[in-house]
Structure 1
Amino acid sequence: MLLFILAAAGFNCSSPKIHDGDTLRCERERIRIADIDAPELPGSPSCSRTKRLAHWCDYALGKASRDALIRFVGNAPVTITRLGTDRYGRTLARVSVRGRDVGQFLVSQRLARAWR
């Protein structure tokens, strides 16, 4: 039980690397922001001809989403609250900066959509 409480408590990531609008890296851990879906970036295998209809392949919006996340994070530490893992082995987590939820921010700016 104590291990679960510690895992759910969250941790700070002082220098996250932003991949796209819904994925970042903290050290070696890949983190997928929970409950949102951001548009794909150019070159995403999810936007191949056979998969294109199932994904959000607006590349200009994908770049805008990534860039907004970079600006939102700035140089502030990011708080990561792990929720589990996704089917690709990434940590699924709530992510916040200075107490503000990153996913809610991106959805409010129409740079991501809610995903349940």
Structure 2
Amino acid sequence: MSLLSILASGALCASPSVHDGDSIRCGGERIRIANIDAPELPGSPKCGDGRRAYAWCDYAAGYRARDAMQAFLARGPVMIERMGADQYGRTLALVTVNGEEAGRYLVKLGLARRWR
């Protein structure tokens, strides 16, 4: 997807805040970064119940992913392209800064995996 099409269909997130490596907030909107899975942070219910086999419960990597997402979003204007909602009611979106996708950036650093 080109930067022009993202800008045409996306929305500016003026003051994003990072929850973890694959989810942010834009104002009161909870946003799940599309197409990636990042390591969980301590306290994640996924790491304490039957989903542990499917969760990435490396907490040190979770902190690194969160911090990398924070640094990435600080690089410039944050654009979100909404794609729907996930099973938890969060907005599922592509998030870009200066035309670069947040998810691809974290995957490139080894701090997230592609989600299928």
In structure 2, what residue type is equivalent to 1:101? E
CA contact (8 A) 2:36 2:114 kept: yes
Give the match for residue 106 of structure 1: 106
TM-score (norm 1): 0.90
Structure 1: unaligned runs, 5 residues or longer:
1-7
Q: Which moved more, 1:99-108 or 1:75-84?
A: 75-84
In structure 1, distance between residues paired with 2:113 and 2:86? 18
Alignment identity in percent? 57
Is residue 55 from structure 1 mapped to residue 47 from structure 2 by the alignment?
no
Query: Across the two proteins, how many residue pairs are aligned to each other?
Result: 109
In structure 2, distance between residues paired with 1:50 and 1:115? 20
In structure 2, what residue type is equivalent to 1:45? P
TM-score (norm 2): 0.90
Give the match for residue 38 of structure 1: 38
Structure 2: unaligned runs, 5 residues or longer:
1-7
Q: What is the aligned-residue RMSD (CA, Å)?
A: 1.2
Runs of 4+ in 1 over 3 A off after TM superposition: none
CA contact (8 A) 2:75 2:97 kept: no
